[in-house]
Structure 1
């Protein structure tokens, strides 16, 4: 059965996996990047997850509520207890991002959750209408998105704190 699943997977799915592995591998190394580039991966993962929620379960209130609650709760926890991975870069508008395994792990988690949910719904189409399946899958997507968004919020807050600390108090005018 596993062989059949892999054989019937469209080629574009493997291309997406390759791009995610490439981006995740790049995140393993410290690098300097534009501040706005920090928003790309969280935005893409957010779009992929929401697209999957809507395609697989429709505008189901339970599915969307499970996604939103899990995303908000996880984002808050990661923002509150996470650690910033950025520092100001050498040029204005750039940041230095510490290498980390977390983005690769999170991208793979989103990919394989999407893949597993697609397989589940292909094998058991009636599961699409099961509130528990919808809530579980969507909550899992919400957790992943919350991790990305919480890390982004933590990094931006840390950079804003550094920027504010660098401005002399006598230079600030009301």
Structure 2
């Protein structure tokens, strides 16, 4: 099966997700103020996408689940440490002011591309499904772990902002 044929069978939601991630990342290039709910939407999307990798077919093997868990646990500290930076949180109005950075655009598109490439590889090389499935589990776990760490760091900042105004 050719790559163009496989790409033509990619579900619409995948292209919509890519468009959303590019749009969100492009917004992050300049200073901006956004509603609190928009700040947490991308991490939620990636955590859910990462969790979906845990539910993938393991064909009776524990290896994908263990790979997922190790990758998730390994990246939680990185997400927490790198996490949301250069933000000012206005809890009263549920707004977040962020300074411009290319990091979210690069991160989001790179992670999407990696997930997409693994999916394409699995479709094009079904005989390597187990090995590629382990790679998908590792990436999915890493996504979930990183963004869980990010969310924990954001929650800490949000709580700190409440203490500063109290």
Q: Is TM > 0.5 for Structure 1 vs Structure 2?
A: yes
Whole-angstrom distance in 1 between the partners of 2:74 and 2:144: 10
Aligned to 1:136: 135
Q: Superposition pairs for residues 12-161 of structure 1, below 5 Å?
A: 12=12, 13-55=14-56, 57=58, 61-80=62-81, 82=83, 84-89=85-90, 91-130=92-131, 133-161=132-160
- Corresponding residue for 2:3? 5
Supply the RMSD in Å over aligned alpha carbons: 2.8
The alpha carbon displacement at 1:137 in A equals 2.5
Distance 1:105 1:162, change over 3 A: same
- When residues 81 and 113 of structure 1 are mapped into structure 2, their CA distance, relative to the original with a 3 A threshold, is closer
Structure 1 residues 93-126: Cα deviation after superposition (integer angstroms, max 9, x where no partner):
2221222222222221222122211221122213
**Native 8 Å contact 2:72 2:142 kept in 1:** yes
Q: When the two structures are superposed, what TM-score results if normalisation uses the length of structure 1?
A: 0.75
Which structure has the bigger radius of gyration? 1
Pairs aligned (count): 163
CA contact (8 A) 1:78 1:150 kept: yes
Q: Deviations over 1:42-90 (max 9, x none)?
A: 1111222333453454785322222222223212233135562321238
1:134-172 Cα offsets, whole Å, 9 max, x none, are 3332212222333323223222212312321332xxxxx
Structure 2 gap segments, 5+ residues each: none
Does 13-22 or 33-42 show the bigger shift?
13-22
| Cα 1:66–1:122 shift into 2, 3 Å | same
Give the secondary-structure state (helix, strand or coil) at the position aligned to 2:158: helix
